[in-house]
């Protein structure tokens, strides 16, 4: 599939997931959260992150004072649930690789939450893409360079948009500066869910 937009090397597919499919994905996400409840991780510097998160798949992403890493189980000790098929189909549609994702990270943003500029670099094979699915309120997504600093560009991601980091942009610094509260009615209490699919090993 050919992306409709490209932001500093990041492929963006606006409105790829229609409203009925978004609603179905919400049901899948509720199932993930029932099996692996949301938690609020700390950065290695001891500061709580402003998003709550959980995961599905063979691995889940985690952070605390010991650093960033993947775990094979939820912090409670229970296994992560499987990645739902409807989420896997999005990977198959835009990922352009034969390897299935091993982690679906679920980030929940409430009003005021953000994600600082960072690289996704805890995975073993940087030739594998990162596929990001936006659900709920609009988010101002910012993309920079392979090193910190320098020029950046931003775009408002809306519910149903999909972004893919691959190729030269796989290690680009990127983040979410803020939400636009009330811009979507998908989540009854507002906020945004971001799913990122990754190959870990």
Contact 37, 77 (CB under 8 A): no
Alpha-carbon distance 29 to 73, whole Å? Answer: 17
Helix and strand tally (H, E) in the chain?
2, 13
What is the Cα–Cα distance from 120 to 146, expressed in whole angstroms?
11
The strand pair at 103-109 and 67-71 is best described as unpaired
Q: Write down the pLDDT at residue 197.
A: 98
d(C-alpha 175, C-alpha 185), whole Å = 23
Topology of 5-198 in CATH? Jelly Rolls (2.60.120)
Give the pLDDT of residue 46.
78
In this predicted model, what pLDDT tens digit does every residue of 150-198 receive, in sequence order?
899 999 999 999 999 999 899 999 999 999 999 999 999 999 999 999 9
Q: List pLDDT tens digits, range 21-61.
A: 999 999 999 999 999 999 999 888 878 889 999 999 999 99
- Average pLDDT score, the chain: 94
Sort 43 into a burial class: Cβ within 10 Å, 0-12 / 13-18 / 19+: middle
CB 99 within 8 A of CB 129: no
Max alpha carbon distance in the chain (Å)? Answer: 42
C-alpha span between 123 and 154 (Å, rounded): 25
Token pair listed for 117: 């500029």
Q: Which of 50, 10, 21, 24 is nearest to 131 (CA)?
A: 10
pLDDT 10s digits, 84-98: 999 999 999 999 999
Task: Extract the tokens encoding 39.
Answer: 């938690």
pTM above 0.85, yes or no: yes
DSSP-derived pairing of the beta strands 138-143 and 174-180: antiparallel
Per-domain boundaries in the chain: 5-198
For residues 96 and 2, is the Cβ–Cβ distance under 8 A? no
pLDDT at 173: 94
Confidence of residue 65 (pLDDT cuts 50, 70, 90): confident
The predicted-structure confidence for 120-153, as pLDDT tens digits, reads as follows 898 999 999 999 999 999 999 999 999 998 899 9
């Amino acid at each position: 599939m050919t992306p409709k937009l490209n932001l500093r090397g990041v492929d963006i597919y606006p409105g790829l997931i229609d409203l009925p499919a978004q609603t179905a994905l919400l049901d899948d996400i509720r199932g993930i959260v029932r099996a692996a409840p949301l938690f609020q991780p700390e950065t290695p510097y001891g500061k709580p992150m402003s998003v709550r998160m959980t995961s599905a798949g063979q691995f889940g992403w985690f952070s605390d004072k010991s650093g960033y890493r993947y775990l094979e189980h939820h912090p409670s000790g229970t296994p992560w649930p499987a990645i739902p098929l409807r989420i896997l189909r999005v990977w198959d549609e835009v990922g352009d690789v034969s390897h299935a994702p091993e982690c679906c990270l679920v980030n929940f943003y409430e009003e005021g939450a953000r994600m600082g500029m960072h690289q996704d670099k805890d995975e073993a094979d940087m030739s594998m893409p990162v596929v990001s699915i936006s659900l709920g309120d609009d988010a101002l997504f910012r993309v920079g360079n392979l090193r910190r600093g320098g020029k950046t560009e931003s775009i408002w991601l809306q519910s149903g948009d999909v972004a893919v980091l691959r190729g030269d942009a796989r290690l680009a610094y990127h983040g979410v500066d803020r939400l636009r509260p009330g811009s979507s009615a998908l989540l009854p209490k507002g906020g945004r869910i971001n799913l990122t699919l990754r190959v870990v090993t």
